[in-house]
Amino acid sequence: MEIVKARREDLPAILEIYAYARLFMKATGNPNQWQDSHPARETLESDIESGNLYLCLNQQQIAGVFAFIIGSDPTYDIIDDGAWHSDKPYGTVHRLASGGQFRGIGRACFDYCKARLTNLRVDTHHDNKVMQSVIAQNGFSRCGIIYQPDGSPRIAYDWQAE
């Protein structure tokens, strides 16, 4: 699997992947994490412009998408019911989604990010059992609960290189 930065012309395919992911989440017991228009087109456009949105390509076909943002994330400033394992600079993975046609999107994403930083963070909704499993399979440890700007809780994880 190849990882490349997303371009503005990739946006229609990216939107299709997120539409599929929303349906998949609803079908697997997670109907509330991403509502009908999440992530917003404007957020994705901003991610592309800032160079933070990446595509997972399988034989030049867009198979998945994720945001990888290096630097402090204010959403992670406060953590309840636990603590981060490190306060070193970190990168955060957000909005990871698969188009459902290929396996290994999560592994490809996390391997790419791990090759660039030694401290990563990620979070997911309590009902997103699929993502919780992917996160655990990729060596992340549960740290506690963080809160989205709207106050909704998310399970937070981190990973440090050995």
pTM here?
Answer: 0.95
Residue 154 per-residue DSSP state: E
Cβ atoms of residues 96 and 66 within 8 Å:
yes
Residue-by-residue DSSP string for 33-62: SS-TTPSPHHHHHHHHHTT-EEEEEETTEE
> Tell me, what CATH number does 100's domain have?
3.40.630.30
pLDDT at 31 over 90: no
Q: How would residue 80 be classed by pLDDT, with cut points 50, 70 and 90?
A: very high
Please give the single-letter amino acid code of residue 6: A
Residues 6+ apart with CB under 8 A from 158: 84, 85, 86, 90, 119, 120, 121, 122, 140, 141, 143
Q: How would residue 28 be classed by pLDDT, with cut points 50, 70 and 90?
A: very high
pLDDT of residue 139: 98
pLDDT of residue 33: 85
pLDDT at 35 over 80: no
Q: 30: how many CB neighbours lie within 10 A of its CB?
A: 20
pLDDT of residue 34: 81
Please give the single-letter amino acid code of residue 158: D
pLDDT of residue 36: 75
Proportion of the chain above pLDDT 70, given as a percent:
100
Do the strands 119-124 and 91-98 form a parallel or antiparallel pair, or are they unpaired?
A: parallel
Instruction: Read off the pLDDT of each residue in 135-139 and give the average, rounded to a whole number.
Output: 98
pLDDT at 83 over 90: yes
pLDDT at 30 over 90: no
- Tell me the pLDDT tens digit for each residue of 96-118: 999 999 999 999 999 999 999 99
What would you report as the CA-atom Rg of the chain, rounded to the nearest whole angstrom?
A: 15
Domain count, the chain: 1
Domain extent for 7? 2-160
Tell me the sheet residues that pair with 134.
none
Closest CA to 135 of 118, 146, 122: 122
